[in-house]
Structure 1
Amino acid sequence: MDQGVISQVFTPYTWRARIRPVLIAALPVALPVAVLIPDWPPARRVWALVLVCGLPLVLGQWCRSRGRRLEPGLFELWGGKPSVQLLRWRGPTGPAQLAFLHSRIEQIAGPPLRLPSAEEERADPEGADALYEVAGSVLRTRARALPGAELVAEENREYGFRRNTLALRPFALGAAAAGLLGVVVHAVLARPLSGPAGAAVSAGLVAADFLLLVFWIWTVRPVWVAEAAWTYARRLVETAELPNAESGPGSGAVSPA
């Protein structure tokens, strides 16, 4: 699928966070098929039929659903949603910076939202987290149309990609193992007939499928997702320091840090 078709059919988030994990999971099996059967005439017609039927969109929604089901367990493992942790008095943000962020978020949200003090948070941590979740929703909604916040969308796509990729890990490990086994068997059986060129192709396929298996075993883990989640959360919270979209240079709004 070329870039033009991608831009017409999928949004950047859907392509990167929902479709790409499925394609990477299927790659260990699809790669040898594409290489070993290069002249398969019906291939383009089959792919066109798949697109017309909307199968990539269905797979994207399935991938998203698995990622969303995985998310609560990840947040529990990390001690809470990263954007919530960044707004806690007991979290990683320094007291002076946190006081500024709370004040700025209350200014952005308006009078209905008042974030808790350190004492109030200690007295009711769950209630405080609920308010921090509201604050995060305010920032996410504001960031969608906020000039200078494009990096938030980029980091959100990266987080979605990693979360959904982790959700596909059990299936991908099976596909990677099957793909590696298949190319090894093919290399052994076809070696007497394929000659040096065929042997080089088979060796390349074995190496590629082995590296894909290593990727799914060693890279695709909760800590890999956490890295992207924290980066996204920091970029999101930083948007509180950006002036409102309707603010001018002389409005007194806070400038970017």
Structure 2
Amino acid sequence: MYAAIALMREGGVDIERLNSENVSYGFRRNTRALKAIALVILAVAGLANLYLMAAKGALLIGGSIAVLDLLAMGFWIIVVRDRWVTEQAEIYATRFFISADVTATQGRVGSRR
């Protein structure tokens, strides 16, 4: 893998774009992996916030925190899905194979120096 990336760099392939797609895929994959943990943490934080709102009567601050908590939960429930990760994986794979193809057509893949 690292040798292929090195060959692509030599061939003038837009490696920054490839790295950007890789980072985006990694972020989505890792976010999906943490989904269950994040939802548990957000649920506990939301319940603690409700308890403190009732006990202290801090409705303005507690309400603001509740809105942020619900927005975060919405992101994790609605956006973070297997399909979200798969879409980026396909984009990254396509970019990688296009880059590899460009490198191969330049005659650099498999050549020994």
Tell me the TM-score normalized by structure 1.
0.36
Structure 2 portions without partners, runs of 5+? 108-113
Corresponding pairs, count: 103
Distance 1:216 1:243 in 2: 38
Question: Whose relative contact order is higher, 1 or 2, with alpha carbons under 8 Å and at least 6 apart?
Answer: 2
Computing the radius of gyration from Cα coordinates, the structure with the larger value is 1
Deviation (angstroms), 1:222 = 0.5
Structure 1 letter corresponding to 2:67: A
Is 1:171 matched up with 2:73? no
Structure with the higher fraction of residues in helix conformation: 2
Identity %: 30
1:237 pairs with one of 75, 97, 100: 97
CA contact (8 A) 1:166 1:221 kept: yes
CA contact (8 A) 1:152 1:236 kept: yes
Structure 1 portions without partners, runs of 5+? 1-136, 245-251
CA-atom RMSD in angstroms: 2.3
Distance 2:83 2:29 in 1: 10
CA contact (8 A) 1:143 1:239 kept: no
- The structure 1 segments of at least 4 consecutive aligned residues displaced by more than 6 Å after TM superposition are none
Partner of residue 189, structure 1: 55
Distance 1:159 1:152 in 2: 11
After TM superposition, the structure 1 = structure 2 runs for residues 5-84 of structure 1, keeping only pairs within 5 Å, are none
| Deviations 1:77-101 (CA, angstroms, capped at 9, x unpaired) | xxxxxxxxxxxxxxxxxxxxxxxxx
Is 1:150 matched up with 2:3? no
